[in-house]
Amino acid sequence: MRSSNKTWIVAGAMFAALAAASWNSPISAQDAPKASAKDYNQRALEIYEFKKAAQSGPDRGQEIYYYKCWFCHNEFVAGIAEQGIPHLKGLYQKPNLLSGEPVNDATVKEKLKNGGPGMPAYKYTLSDADLADLVSYLREKCCWDSDSPPPNPRYRTN
């Protein structure tokens, strides 16, 4: 046997012994990885969790709307009626969704979760809290005029 093959055999045996020792030993609470505290001074974390504008409620829903919905559901989309993309302004004043279901929180959440023809499903992307905040925004405040978007909450004039 060549010496390089012996080296690989010895290395493999050592790896197997270490793996067997670690598999058989129980992990103690002090060995378990600790969850790190979230630093909300990091703006990237606020953006990732959609918490730059607010921690919850319609203001947070507005931020989620901007990142997830506005791209398709805005007044600048050409041929919006032909494509079947509804404007979301005044959604809760309409009697039915395009699918024919009545407009209420449950049906709007289901549409957001499961999507539809041409609309992505957000059931794996948005949490229940995200959906609740987004629905509260659609119900209470939706939608801004793109010529005068909402102000930046971090901008101070004084």
Tokens of 33: 């990885």
Of the ranges 2-11, 55-64, 102-111, which one carries the lowest mean pLDDT score? 2-11
Cis upstream peptide for 143 (omega within 30°):
yes
Q: How far apart are CA 36 and CA 21, in angstroms?
A: 28
| pLDDT attached to residue 30 | 60
Whether 89 shows a pLDDT value over 70: the answer reads yes
- Please determine, looking at this structure, whether the domain spanning 43-140 carries the CATH number 3.40.50.2300: no
Q: Which amino acid is at 140?
A: E
Cβ neighbors of 89 (< 8 A, separation 6 or more) are: 142, 143
Does 57 have pLDDT greater than 70? yes
- Give the ranges where the chain is alpha helix by DSSP (H): 3-24, 43-48, 58-68, 80-83, 105-114, 128-140
Give mean pLDDT, residues 124-137. Answer: 93
Average pLDDT estimate for 3-26:
62
Q: What is the dihedral of CA 63, 64, 68, 70, to 10 degrees?
A: -40
Structural domain boundaries of the chain? 43-140
